[in-house]
Amino acid sequence: MNYVNCGNFKTSYEKDFALYQTTFSKVVLIIFLVLLFLFPFVATDYLLYIFNLIFVSVIGAVGLNILTGATGLISLGHGAFIGVGAYAAGYFYNTLHVNFIVAILFGGLAAAFIGSIFGIPSLRLKGLYLSIATLAAQFILEFLFVRMEGITGGVTGLSVDYAKIFGIEIDDDFKFYYLGLIFCILMTIFAVNIMRTRIGRAFLSIRDNYIAAEVMGVNIFQYKILSFAISSFYAGVAGGLWTFYTTIITPEHFTIGVSIQYLSMIIIGGLGKVLGSIFGAVFMTVLPEALKLISDFLSQYYQDITQLFASIREGVFGLVIILFLMFEPEGLYRRWKLIKAYWKLWPFSY
Amino acid sequence: MELFFNLLITGLVVGSIYALLALGFTLIYKSTGVVNFAQGELLLIGAYICLHLTVSYRVPFIPSFILTFIFMFLFGFIIERIFLRKMIGEPIISIIMLTIGLSSLLKSVVQIFWGTDTRVFPKVFPSEPVNLFGIKVSQVYIYSVISVAISLVIFSVFFKKSKAGVAMRAVASDQQAALSMGIEIKKVFALAWAIAAVVSAVGGVFVGNINGVNTNLSQFGLKVFPAVILGGLDSISGAIIGGVIIGILENLVGGYVDPLIGGGAKEVFPFIFMIIVLMIKPYGLFGTEEVEKV
């Protein structure tokens, strides 16, 4: 599937392992990033709000894709791990008065710790059994979010001050955009690179055939826990960012529904692919907003539609997952590859 | 002591409904290898159909109960045909996600048709409680336990004696062998979904009679996991026993622990219990252990 331009010979292993196969793709990426950095100057607040949601989702989805897509361990508890990160970041920020970046990292570490604990059953459990164990993690953590009022503030939630950096308060969508974007880029680069190392390959080998992997000398238990830890670290960072974006966190944001939403992101985007997680996160964040626009438009003609909106949104959400699984099981990533191949090969498509 | 027996009886009622749902779940899992996260939505739809027939069309309870059966049987068939047939041979994560997607689709359809308010059944069972060993038990509880027990017996006999039941057990134990003996696997898959839909609907109608009907009933679908894990994913008797045990334990914990910590223990306890079971005995009480081959 990876079509390489004519005349692009690889003469060393370094070239084969390189992140960017051609200078062209590097240039395209840099242009794309520059555009992303300039975007807020032309965008409306609403667009910035959607982008900020996307940044948080991308980090969470990339993390889940390392666990589920690359290592093959299904997790139905990702939403709760995001919650652990969010609460931990908020709590550290409020009690220790550390810099907010330190607080977010603390949140990530706390989530990684909790995630590894709930990853321990993965030693004995696989597939369906593991997904049910993580479902239990989701409910237990949700329960703790409500009950541990000393830390989480219970149902009323935990509030933090706006994040501050170099004396600038990050208190609107415009400023948060840069924070989210930088975090998002760093975390994505980290994920892309982790998949190129020994660790990433160990993950893939566990997914493809864990018995063979063990025979080859991969310490299954260690790598499974590591996968849980890395994935939950991502979840925690996403949660920490969410804390400083909304400045008030309540248990409602970390329900089973959120876990399912992240799972659907990586399935719709493409399992095991970092780029796929980004596609999926964008798609699943934009979808409800697009539905909202459509329903606002239709409400001129049908009054009832706004009342039914929540139900319709859930139904469309389910339908989209089903349709993708039935007709495009490899997700948007595959479509992207096909489009790229089309442009490279045109007009000789075979 | 009276509290204990009250909790025990409520636990038995709820547990028998878990048992029905677990039966449906196990049935689908055993014969098709599909994990059904939409089991709770099948219960929800069954409850609403029966309610709709009795309230809007004023059909008496028993006929509407039977009509609900027929509808759910067909509904199970259709779901299998449209959504699951295409997924045969897909990886487990795709199938899990498909049923999750199905559950939110079904829930949304229910909400669009019937809204989100709680609706109550017209009075079907006499309301004066019966005195059982010195404890007052409302009649709907007794009827629901009895009819759950009856349906469990019917299904056990069905699996043991009827031709279709034997075919289902054959497919469950070895798909290849069943196929070569001339059993139509696709029909068996469809039948498994149809029966699972029906048993869930029985549960739905009784829960609806006890608590009223709203979309929260679909949460029963998640509570079924502790029951099936305890009993063993592929064991029908395990599903029934697991369901009853989880129902009783959950209510006892609710009665004794909730006042100490201020609520919520009842909801989370089955899942804590399930993790412990998974760590000690991952294949449950009666499940068959999978042997790994390279």
Q: Provide the pLDDT for residue A234.
A: 94
ipTM of predicted complex: 0.85
Average pLDDT over every residue of B78-101: 85
Q: Which tokens hold the place of A282?
A: 């964008």
Q: Which tokens hold the place of B83?
A: 């959504």
pLDDT band at B183 (very low <50, low <70, confident <90, very high): confident
| B222 at interface of A, judged by CB pairs closer than 8 A | yes
- Chain B residue numbers touching A319 (CB-CB < 8 A): 101, 105
Q: Which long-range contacts (CB under 8 A, 24 or more apart) does A170-176 make?
A: A170/A244, A172/A45, A173/A45, A173/A48, A173/A49, A173/A52, A174/A40, A174/A45, A174/A48, A176/A48, A176/A52, A176/A244, A176/A245
Listed in sequence order, the residues at least 6 apart from A73 whose beta carbon sits closer than 8 Å to its beta carbon are A67, A119, A122, A130, A224, A227, A228
| A131 at interface of B, judged by CB pairs closer than 8 A | yes
A134: left (phi over 0), alpha (psi -120 to 50) or beta: alpha
| B88 at interface of A, judged by CB pairs closer than 8 A | no
Q: Provide the pLDDT for residue B211.
A: 80
Helix%, strand%, coil% for chain B, nearest 5: 75, 5, 20
Distance in Å, alpha carbon of B137 to nearest chain A alpha carbon:
31
Residue B135 has pLDDT above 70, yes or no: yes
Shortest CA distance from B223: residue in chain A? A136
Q: Which tokens hold the place of A22?
A: 């051609």
Nearest neighbour of A322 by CB, restricted to B102, B274, B279: B102
Q: Provide the pLDDT for residue A133.
A: 86
- Chain A residue numbers touching B229 (CB-CB < 8 A): 129, 132
Q: Provide the pLDDT for residue A1.
A: 47
CA distances from A61 to A122, A142, A318, A335, B279 (A): 20, 20, 18, 19, 28
User: Which residue shows structure tokens 């062209």?
Assistant: A24
pLDDT beneath 50: ranges in chain A: 1
Q: Which tokens hold the place of B242?
A: 């697991």
Percentage with pLDDT > 90 across chain B: 11
Dihedral angle computed from the Cα positions of residues B254, B256, B261 and B262, in that order, rounded to the nearest 10 degrees: 60
| Chain A stretch 242-271, residues whose beta carbon is closer than 8 A to a beta carbon of chain B | 256, 260, 263-264, 267, 271
Distance in Å, alpha carbon of B206 to nearest chain A alpha carbon:
25
Shortest CA distance from B281: residue in chain A? A124
- Chain B residue numbers touching A70 (CB-CB < 8 A): none
What b/e readout covers A113-129, taking b as 16+ CB neighbours within 10 angstroms? ebbbebbbbbeebbbbb
| Cis status, amide bond into A347, omega within 30 of 0 | yes
**Dihedrals φ, ψ of B251, to 5°?**
-70, -35
Q: Provide the pLDDT for residue B294.
A: 54
Domains and CATH numbers, chain A: 43-345 (1.10.3470)
- The whole-angstrom distance between residue A222's C-alpha and the CA centroid of its chain comes to 23
| A322 at interface of B, judged by CB pairs closer than 8 A | yes
Contact between chains at A318 and B104 (C-beta distance less than 8 A): yes
Residue B115 has pLDDT above 70, yes or no: yes
- Chain A residue numbers touching B90 (CB-CB < 8 A): 325, 329
Distance in Å, alpha carbon of A141 to nearest chain B alpha carbon:
9
Average pLDDT over every residue of B60-64: 85
Least confident segment among A85-94, A121-130, B55-64, B163-172: A121-130
Listed in sequence order, the residues at least 6 apart from A148 whose beta carbon sits closer than 8 Å to its beta carbon are A154
**Dihedrals φ, ψ of A8, to 5°?**
-95, 85
Residue A299 to residue A312: CA distance in whole angstroms: 13
- Chain A residue numbers touching B86 (CB-CB < 8 A): 326
| B22 at interface of A, judged by CB pairs closer than 8 A | no
